[in-house]
């Protein structure tokens, strides 16, 4: 039995409905009546205004437990009309090391300063040390008890495939454990005479802002570990010349996000009247799930190197500004030397920056120096094989350089 009514297609009401679907839509033609009435001084209102006059909802200020978020617009107290270019922890420079060089006005020297080279060459490490370093690698990469959900892995050629979710030691913890254990080994070797002149601080932040060719640059970075020393590192002896790379047609600020809300103050984590306040070495971790390009691509080798340079630069620049003896032309009377080590737990990149000037403009005659070598792998594989710990491609070079960096003064 049919429950609904039958459609009477010839029903006049049905026809009216169909017709109204077309005729119910009209474009009003301007007859000139409104203009004529206005000429006569009669006020013209739309029917909508008369029938549904707009009423503003009355805002009631309620004092609640949570503060209202400050709107991120012109009313924000830190709003500037000129946007700054920001370099933070999670972005890298698109142009990699060449862009970092132009941005920080630094020339690249593809070797370490002579004293570090000599220290690496002359270092006589005990034979048992390799075993200790390997144990440090095992205990940080495999033997730690932490079990957290690791980031999702996607296969590029099989995007629909969901791999089983792995649990293990987080990248951040691996890095932290490895660096702590390696530093422990180094401190044992160095002895008390050196270690009393060094202090270690974890999770430090640095902030500074500079002006380069009328662009405001704001650097806001965090260092995962800072070694500070009682004495500043000596300026590197020797004369170094070189040219800055040509980025044409890119500007050195490309891929740095623009922001209107920023502060121009400088922050260095240790007060300058504290004994061990001089920056010595900055450790920074690289986690590809956090650090990435603006356009979502993988970070390349040169971008990895560029990140080390920028981190070292921000430490040195914020220290120079804290000391407060920067003349008008930006050339520092006493250069600041900072060592930087970037690692993803496996690959180590070492560099030394000598900050000669804070003048980043293209016409600056004085340049900063960036000494570095290509990155070194501490090991190529660390896993369980047939139920036993396995370390493949162990390279003691990384530890020797790390040791030389720590003992440098």
Site string for other proteins, 345-364 (x = CB under 8 A): --------------------
Size of the site for other proteins (CB under 8 A): 30
Task: Determine the interface stretch with other proteins among 122-130, 216-224, 289-297, 367-375 (rule: CB under 8 A).
Answer: 289-297
Q: Is 86 in the site for other proteins (CB under 8 A)?
A: no
d(CA 397, CA 311): 23
Query: CB of 307: closest distance to other proteins in angstroms?
Result: 17
Are 105 and 359 in contact by the 8 Å Cβ rule? The answer is yes
Query: CB of 107: closest distance to other proteins in angstroms?
Result: 23
Nearer to other proteins, 6 or 127 (CB): 6
Contacts for 82 with CB less than 8 Å, ≥ 6 apart:
216
Q: Is 20 in the site for other proteins (CB under 8 A)?
A: yes
Given 8, 9, 10, 26, the residue binding other proteins (CB under 8 A): 26
Q: Is 163 in the site for other proteins (CB under 8 A)?
A: no
Query: CB of 237: closest distance to other proteins in angstroms?
Result: 37
Q: Is 69 in the site for other proteins (CB under 8 A)?
A: no
Question: Which contacts of 324-327 are long-range, i.e. CB under 8 A and separated by 24 or more positions?
Answer: 326/358
Backbone angles phi, psi at 358, to 5 degrees: -105, 5
Q: Is 32 in the site for other proteins (CB under 8 A)?
A: no
The b-or-e profile of 154-179 (16+ CB within 10 A means b, else e) is eeeeeeeeeeeeeeebbbeebbbbbb
Query: CB of 341: closest distance to other proteins in angstroms?
Result: 28
Nearer to other proteins, 173 or 251 (CB): 251
Distances (CA, A) of 125 to 186, 191, 227, 316: 10, 13, 22, 31
Given 1, 12, 22, 24, the residue binding other proteins (CB under 8 A): 24
Q: Is 237 in the site for other proteins (CB under 8 A)?
A: no
d(CA 311, CA 349): 12
Backbone angles phi, psi at 186, to 5 degrees: -65, -40
d(CA 87, CA 257): 8
Backbone angles phi, psi at 315, to 5 degrees: -60, -50
Nearer to other proteins, 119 or 256 (CB): 256
Query: CB of 2: closest distance to other proteins in angstroms?
Result: 11
Residues at the site binding other proteins, with contacts judged by CB under 8 A: 3-5, 13, 16-17, 20-21, 24-28, 85, 94, 159-160, 215, 248-251, 253-256, 294-297
């Amino acid at each position: 039995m049919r429950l609904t009514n039958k459609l009477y297609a010839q029903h006049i009401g049905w026809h009216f409905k169909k017709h109204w679907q077309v005729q119910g839509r009209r474009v009003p033609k301007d007859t000139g009546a409104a203009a004529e009435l206005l000429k006569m001084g009669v006020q013209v209102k739309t029917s909508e205004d008369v029938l549904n006059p707009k009423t503003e909802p009355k805002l009631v200020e309620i004092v609640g437990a949570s503060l209202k978020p400050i709107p991120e617009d012109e009313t924000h107290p830190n709003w500037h009309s000129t946007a700054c270019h920001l370099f933070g922890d999670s972005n890298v420079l698109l142009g990699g090391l060449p862009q970092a060089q132009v941005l920080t006005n630094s020339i690249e020297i593809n070797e370490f300063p002579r004293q570090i080279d000599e220290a690496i060459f002359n270092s006589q490490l005990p034979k048992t040390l390799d075993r200790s370093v390997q144990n440090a690698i095992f205990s940080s990469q495999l033997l730690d008890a932490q079990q957290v959900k690791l980031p999702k892995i996607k296969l590029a050629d099989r995007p629909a495939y969901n791999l089983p979710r792995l649990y293990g030691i987080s990248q951040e913890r691996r890095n932290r454990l490895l660096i702590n254990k390696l530093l422990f080994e180094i401190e044992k070797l160095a002895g008390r005479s050196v270690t009393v002149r060094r202090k270690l601080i974890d999770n430090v932040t640095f902030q500074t802002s500079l002006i380069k060719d009328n662009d405001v640059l704001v650097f806001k970075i965090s260092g995962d570990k800072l070694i500070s020393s009682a004495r500043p590192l000596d300026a590197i002896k020797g004369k170094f010349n070189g040219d800055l790379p040509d980025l044409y047609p890119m500007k050195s600020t490309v891929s740095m996000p623009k922001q209107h809300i920023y502060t121009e103050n400088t922050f260095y984590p240790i007060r300058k009247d504290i004994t061990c306040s001089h920056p010595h070495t900055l450790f920074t971790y690289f986690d590809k799930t956090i650090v990435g390009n603006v356009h979502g691509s993988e970070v390349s080798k040169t971008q990895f190197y560029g990140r080390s340079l920028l981190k070292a630069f921000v430490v040195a620049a914020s220290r120079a500004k804290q000391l407060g003896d920067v003349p008008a032309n930006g050339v520092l009377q006493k250069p600041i030397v900072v060592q930087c080590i970037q690692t993803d737990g496996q690959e180590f990149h070492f560099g030394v920056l000598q900050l000669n000037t804070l003048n980043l403009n293209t016409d600056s005659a004085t340049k900063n120096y960036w000494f570095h070598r290509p990155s070194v792998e501490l090991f190529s594989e660390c896993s369980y094989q047939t139920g036993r710990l396995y370390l493949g491609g162990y390279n003691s070079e990384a530890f020797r350089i790390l040791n030389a960096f720590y003992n440098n003064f």
